[in-house]
Structures are given as structure tokens and as C-alpha cells.
Amino acid sequence: GAVVSQHPSWVICKSGTSVKIECRSLDFQATTMFWYRQFPKQSLMLMATSNEGSKATYEQGVEKDKFLINHASLTLSTLTVTSAHPEDSSFYICSARPVGTGSYNEQFFGPGTRLTVL
């Protein structure tokens, strides 16, 4: 149980295009999902917290107009990188917290999406 999937697993795009990444909780519902970014040889950095039915909360320094987050259902959150540039190339990982669990409970992580912007 507690499986989170991401699609696509990798994507290559041209500079200036937009890319959408999906995060799905397959066997549980999640009111809260999290989006992280990981640059090579570095740790994960939280980008934003996605709440079902409301606006996402972005971490300091993360441009909300560039990284659009939509959490339209209890099993799906999407991250759209708009007008992507080479510096946006990174490994994007999402996680989900099951409905009914508190902040002290475990988040379940997706397998990540490798974005390369040419």
C-alpha cells in the first residue's frame, strides 16, 4: 500500500516550452501533496505544499507563476514548469500524505521525474 506514482519519469524539452508533471496517489487519498526539487549531488528542497481544493503554498524563492501547481482531486497533483529554461533542469519528486493523518505521519514519495531543458 501507500504507492505514489509520477508521470513522466523523464522528459526532455526545448527552452521556452511548458512541461506538466503528474503526481498520483494510487491506493490512498491525499489532501496534501508536496513538491521537491533535487539538483545533482544535492539534497531535496521543498518547493511547495499542494492542498486539495485550495492554492498551493510556495517556499521562499520559488516563483509561483513559473511553477504552477494544481491539486484538483484527492489523488492527483500536477506541477507545470512554464517557459522552462536550462536552469530548471532538475529531478522533481513529489510526496503525499494520506487523508486523516496528522503532520506527524509519514509522507510517501514518488519515483521522481527527470527534467532536461535544452
Using CB under 8 A as the criterion, which residues of the chain lie in contact with other proteins when the complex forms? 6, 34, 42-46, 49, 59, 91, 93, 95, 103-104, 106-112, 114
Nearer to other proteins, 22 or 82 (CB): 22
- Beta bridge partners of residue 112, listed in sequence order: none
Cross-strand pairs, 25 = 4
What's the min distance (Å) between Cβ of 4 and other proteins?
A: 9
Nearer to other proteins, 82 or 91 (CB): 91
Is residue 2 within 8 A of residue 108, CB to CB? The reply is yes
| Cβ proximity to other proteins, 49 vs 80, nearer residue | 49
88 SS3 class: helix
Residue 63 CB, nearest approach to other proteins (Å): 18
Residue type, 47: M
CB of 99 to other proteins, least distance (A): 16
Nearer to other proteins, 6 or 75 (CB): 6
DSSP state of 106: P
The CA distance from 63 to 32, in Å, is: 20
Burial class (CB in 10 A: 0-12, 13-18, 19+), 38: middle
Shortest distance (Å) from residue 13 CB to other proteins: 18
